Amino acid sequence: MIDKLIEKIQKTGAPIVVGLDPMLSYVPEQVQKKAYEAYGETLAGAAEAIWQFNKEIVDKTWDLIPAVKPQIAMYEQFGIEGLQAYRKTVEYCKEKGLVVIGDVKRGDIGSTSAAYAAGHLGKVQIGSKTYAPFDEDFATVNPYLGSDGVRPFIEVCKEEKKGLFILVKTSNPSSGEFQDQLVNGRPLYELVGEKVAQWGEEHMGSSYSYIGAVVGATYPEMGKALRKIMPKSFILVPGYGAQGGKGQDLVHFFDRDGLGAIVNSSRGIIAAYKQEAYKEFGPENFGDASRAAVEAMIADIRGALG
Amino acid sequence: MIDKLIEKIQKTGAPIVVGLDPMLSYVPEQVQKKAYEAYGETLAGAAEAIWQFNKEIVDKTWDLIPAVKPQIAMYEQFGIEGLQAYRKTVEYCKEKGLVVIGDVKRGDIGSTSAAYAAGHLGKVQIGSKTYAPFDEDFATVNPYLGSDGVRPFIEVCKEEKKGLFILVKTSNPSSGEFQDQLVNGRPLYELVGEKVAQWGEEHMGSSYSYIGAVVGATYPEMGKALRKIMPKSFILVPGYGAQGGKGQDLVHFFDRDGLGAIVNSSRGIIAAYKQEAYKEFGPENFGDASRAAVEAMIADIRGALG
C-alpha cells in the first residue's frame, strides 16, 4: 500500500491528501436541507448530509490527488449513522482508486489494539466467515502505550500489506506539553521518531516503510530533524492551510527525490467555498471551489519543492 | 456523575468495575450458535452474540457493582453492527442504574476532540434538534496531544456533569517505553499526573474531581506516588486479575476513606467460566460464574483494604 501511495503521488505529481473532516457547519445549506427532507433532522439526516458533501468533493477532486484522510471523529459524533457515512466514504474513495488513510488515532494495550487493527485494517473471523469491517488502507495510531500497543497494528499491516502513520509530533499548539519534554537532553518526540524508524524496519515497502509518522506542518524545524531520524518513514503532515502551515515550511519534510511526505489539508479544501479566495464559486458550487483549492495547494507545494 | 459513582461504590461496598470486553472467544458456543442461527455468521451475528453475552453478565452482576467499562475496540472490530451492540450495552447498563465508563481512549487536536466529546459524552445539534449519540457517563482519554486535546472533553463534561479518566500510567508491559522516561529526573507519567490534577480542579464534584486518571494495577509503587500527586482524582485501575494485579497491590491506589480508586477486571469476570476456579458452573451458566468471580474480587479487595 505504501508502494501504491508512492505510485499515485508520482502519477498525480501531488504529495497531498484531502482531509475529509466534514463538520456540519461546512456543509452548504442546500445539501443539509435535502438530507433533512429525506431523513428528518436526525442522526441519519446529518449522516446523509456529510456523505453527500464528501461525495461531491471526491467527485470533483479524485483525479488530482493520491489519497484522502477521513477523520473518524467527525462521523463518530453522529453515532452509528455517522459511522455508516464513514464506512460509505471509505468504500467510495477506494472505488475511485484513492488511497484511504483512516485518521482514527487508536492505540491501547495489546489485545485491544489487535481488535482495533482487525476492525480497521484487517479482518475478523465469525464462525467460518471473514469480514473486513472498515477496511481503510492506512490508519493513524497513538504511541503513548508503547511497543505492545503498536505492534498488533504492525502485525495486521504485514498480513494485509497496509500501513500506519504513528503520531510523533502533532500539529496542535499544546503538542509540546508532553511531546517536547527533554529526555536525556532530547525531546520525547525524537525518541518516538526513533521507535517509528525501528518499527518501520519490520515492514518495508520497496523504498519506504509501511510504517510512517505524523509530524505537524506547524513545526518545520522539528520536521527537519525527524526526517533524518526516520529516513525510511513516510511523513503525514497535517496543519497545512487553516492551521497555519505553508508550502515553504514543508520542504524539509521531504526527501531530495520529492517523496517521503504527504501533506494534509482538511478545512482549507473541503470548506474552500467559505474562503474569500473562492467565494465566487458560491455554496452551490462548493465542489468546484474545493477543486480550485486543491490545484492551488498542489502549485504551492510544487513551487516550494522546486 | 463522580458523586453518583461514589454513592454507588459506598452502597455496594465494591470499588470495582466490570470490563465488558467481549472477545468472541469468550462467548460460550450456545450463545454464538443461537445468534448465528438468527443472523448468520455475519457482523450482525457476532454483534448479537456479544450483546446477549453482555446482557446475561449484566443481569447476573448489576446489583453487586457500581459500574461497567465497555471497551469499544471489542465492538468496533465488528464494524457498524458491533458498534450498535456497544450502544445497546451502554443503554442497557444505564437502565440498570450502572455508571458506564466508555473505554474509548480518544484524543486528538482541539476541534476533533470536541467532536469525540460531543459524540460520546455530550450532544450534537442537527438543525433544530439535539441528540446524545453514545451517551456514556465517563470516557477514557489519551493525553499525548496535551491540554488542547483534553480540554474540549472537559468542557463537555462540565456541561453534562460527566467525567473522564485520562491515561497516566497504563497497565501493559511496555507502558514504560515512553511513560517512564525521565524528564528533569521525574518520570513523564508524573508530569501527566500533575496535569490531570490541574485539569481536575476545573471540574470538581463534592469530594473528588470529575477528571480522573488511569493507572495500571501492575505498577503499585507508581500508583502510590500518583495517588499523592493527584489527591482529588479518582483512579481507574485496570490490570487486576488476568493481567497480574492482586488485591494487596491495590491498597495504595485508595485513600484512607477506602475511596479514590475503582478497580477494573474484564477477562477475569466475563470469562470466569473458563477458569479452573469456576469451571463447575459450565459454559451454560457463564453468568453465574461471572457473579461468583465478582463476589471473589470484592472479597479480595475488601480484605486488602481491611
**Sheet order of strands, B182-183 included:** A186-187, A182-183, B182-183, B186-187
A105 is catalytic: yes
Q: Who contacts A44 (Cβ-Cβ below 8 Å, separation ≥6)?
A: A81
At A186-236, the pLDDT tens digits run 999 999 999 999 999 999 999 999 999 999 999 999 999 999 999 999 999
User: Does the beta-carbon distance from B82 to A133 stay under 8 Å?
Assistant: yes
- Find the CB nearest B177 among A118, A147, A175: A147
Q: How far is A41 from chain B (nearest CA, A)?
A: 6
Flag whether residue A147 sits within 8 Å of chain B, measured between CB atoms.
Answer: yes
**Cα Rg of chain B (Å, integer):** 19
- Determine whether the interchain pair B109/A172 forms a contact, defined as Cβ–Cβ distance below 8 Å: yes
Mean pLDDT of all residues in B38-51:
98
Stretch 20-79 of chain A: residues touching chain B, C-beta under 8 Å: 21, 23-24, 32, 36, 41-43, 45-46, 71, 73-74, 76-79
- Residue B100 pLDDT class (50, 70, 90 cuts): very high
pLDDT of residue B238: 95
Average pLDDT of every residue of chain B: 96
Q: Which of A105, A123, A161, A274 is catalytic?
A: A105
B245 has a pLDDT exceeding 80: no
Residues A115, A83: contact at Cβ < 8 Å?
no
Q: All 3 cell numbers of residue A253? A: 519534510
Q: What is the mean pLDDT of residues A164-178?
A: 97
Tell me which chain B residues have a C-beta less than 8 angstroms from the C-beta of A244: none
pLDDT band at A88 (very low <50, low <70, confident <90, very high): very high
B177 and A147 in contact (C-beta within 8 Å)?
A: yes
Q: Is the pLDDT of residue B38 over 80?
A: yes
Helix (H, G, I), strand (E, B) or coil at B101: strand
| pLDDT score recorded for residue B20 | 98
CB-based burial, A171-208: b 16+ in 10 Å, e otherwise: bbbbbbbbbbbebeeebbbbbbbebbbebbeebebeeb
Asked if A112 contacts B71 with a C-beta cutoff of 8 angstroms, the reply is yes
Q: Would the CB atoms of B146 and A179 count as touching at under 8 Å?
A: yes
pLDDT of residue A247: 80
Measured between CA atoms, the residue of chain B closest to residue A239 is B109
E-strand ranges in chain A read 16-18, 67-68, 99-106, 124-126, 129-131, 138-141, 163-169, 182-183, 186-187, 211-215, 235-237, 261-265
Tell me what pLDDT residue B248 has. 83
Mean pLDDT of all residues in B164-173 = 97
What stretches of A13-42 show up as alpha helix (H) in DSSP? 29-39
- Position A135 scores a pLDDT of 98
Report the residue of A26, A174, A179, A218 to disrupt the B interface, i.e. the one with the largest count of B CBs within 10 Å: A174
User: Is the pLDDT assigned to residue B242 strictly greater than 80?
Assistant: no
B283 and chain A: CB distance < 8 Å anywhere?
Answer: no
Mean confidence (pLDDT) of chain A:
96
Interface check B89 vs A, CB under 8 A: no
Cα–Cα distance, A116 to A112 (Å, whole number): 6
How does DSSP assign B223-273, residue by residue?
HHHHHHHSTT--EEE--BGGGSB-GGGGGGGS-TTS-SEEEEESHHHHTGG
Chain A residues touching residue B141 (CB < 8 angstroms): none
* pLDDT score, position A248: 83
Average pLDDT value for residue range A25-34? 98
Is the pLDDT at A249 greater than 90, yes or no? no
Contacts of B29 in chain A (CB under 8 A): none
* For residues A252-279, average pLDDT: 95
Answer yes or no: is pLDDT of B306 > 90.
no
| Residue the block writes with cell 478545512 | A267
Residues of A in contact with B77 (CB under 8 A): 115-116, 118-119, 124, 133
- Report how far residue A157's alpha carbon sits from residue A161's, in angstroms, rounded to the nearest whole number: 5
DSSP symbols for B151-201:
HHHHHHHHHHT-EEEEEEE-SSGGGHHHHT-EETTEEHHHHHHHHHHHHHH
Residue of A31, A42, A76 best to disrupt the B interface, most CBs of B under 10 A: A76
Do residues A265 and A297 make contact, with C-beta atoms less than 8 angstroms apart? yes
Q: What is the pLDDT of residue B48?
A: 98
**Is the separation of the CB atoms in A55 and A86 below 8 Å?**
no
Q: Is the pLDDT of residue B251 over 90?
A: yes
The pLDDT, as a whole number, for residue B112 is 97
> Across residues B235-246, what is the average pLDDT?
84
Q: Looking at residues B183-190, what average pLDDT do you find?
A: 96
Q: Assess whether pLDDT exceeds 90 at residue B81.
A: yes
Q: Tell me how far apart the alpha carbons of residues A178 and A252 are, in angstroms, rounded to a whole number.
A: 23
pLDDT one-digit tens code per residue, B121-132: 999 999 999 999
User: So what's the pLDDT on residue A246?
Assistant: 78
Chain A nearest-CA distance from B153, in A, is 13
Q: Give the H/E segment covering residue A85.
A: helix A79-95
Contact A42 B73 (CB under 8 A): no
- pLDDT above 90 for B13: yes
Percentage, residues of chain B above pLDDT 70: 99
What's the average model confidence in pLDDT over B194-221? 96
Mean pLDDT, residues A52-80 taken together: 98
How near does any CA of chain A get to the CA of B181, in Å? 6
Considering only CB atoms, which chain A residues are within 8 Å of B25? none
Mean pLDDT of B213-227: 96
pLDDT at residue B18 greater than cutoff 80: yes
Residue A148: predicted pLDDT: 95
Mean pLDDT of B153-166: 98
Average pLDDT over residues A152-166: 98
pLDDT score for B247: 80
Cross-chain residue pair B145–A175, CB shorter than 8 Å: yes
Q: Which set of grid coordinates corresponds to residue B259?
A: 475511596
